[in-house]
Chain A
Amino acid sequence: MVDLSTTLAGATLPNPLMTASGCAANGKELHRFFDISRLGAFVTKTVMPAPRSGRGTPRMAETPSGMLNSIGLQGPGIDAFADEDLPWLASVGARVLASIAGGTPDEFAQVATRLLSSPAAASVSGIEVNISCPNVASRGLVFAIDPLASAAVIAAVRAAVPAHLPVFAKLSPDVTDLVTIASACLGAGADGLTLINTTLGMAIDLDRMRPHLGGITGGLSGPAIRPIAVRAIWQVRAAMFAERIPTAPIIGVGGVASGRDALELAAAGASAIQVGTATFNDPEAPVRVLDELAGLLDERGYAAFADVVAAAHPERRRQ
Chain B
Amino acid sequence: MSGAAYPVGVSARDVAHERAPVRSSEPAGAYQHLVVAAPAIAALARPGQFVAATVGGATSGMLLRRSFSIHAVDPDAGTVEVVVAAHAAGTTWITERRIDDVLDLVGPLGQAFPLPDGGGAAVLVGGGYGSAPLFWLAQVLRQRGVHVEIVLGAASADRLFGVALAAEVADAVDVTTDDGSAGTRGWVSDVLPEVLARSGATDVYACGPMAMLRAVTEAASAAGAAAHVAVEEAMACGVGVCMTCVMPVIGADGRTRMVRACLDGPVFDGDRVRWDAFGDGLCRVPDDAVGAPQAGGH
Chain A residues proximal to chain B, CB less than 8 Å:
22-25, 29-35, 45, 50-60, 62, 64-67, 69, 71-75, 77, 103, 134, 136, 205, 208, 214, 222-223, 277-284, 288
Contact = CB atoms under 8 A, between A and B. Distances in A.
Interface string B216-258: 0000000000000000011011011111111100000000011
Nearest to A24: B241
Interface in B96-150: 104, 106
Interface stretch (B56-64, B79-87, B153-161): B56-64
B30 interface: no
B3 interface: no
Contacts of B64: 60, 62, 67, 280-281
Given A34-B9, A55-B285, A29 B257 contact: no
A20 to B, nearest CB: 10
Interface stretch (B192-200, B265-273, B288-296): B288-296
Interface stretch (B164-172, B173-181, B276-284): B276-284
14 contacts: A35-B10, A51-B290, A53-B290, A53-B291, A54-B258, A56-B285, A57-B233, A58-B282, A134-B298, A208-B280, A214-B283, A222-B63, A280-B242, A284-B9
A57 B9 contact: no
B211 interface: no
Contacts of A64: 61
Interface of B: 8-12, 14-15, 17, 54, 61-65, 90, 104, 106, 233-234, 236-237, 239-247, 257-258, 263, 277, 280-285, 289-293, 297-298
Given A62-B64, A280-B65, A56 B282 contact: yes
Q: Is the interface of A mostly helix, strand, loop or mixed?
A: loop
A60 to B, nearest CB: 4
Contacts of B263: 29
Contacts of A33: 9-12, 15, 17, 239
B246 A57 contact: yes
Contacts of A60: 64, 234, 236, 242, 244
A134 B8 CA distance: 40
A56 B277 CA distance: 9
Q: Which of B8, B233, B243 has the most CB of A within 10 A?
A: B243
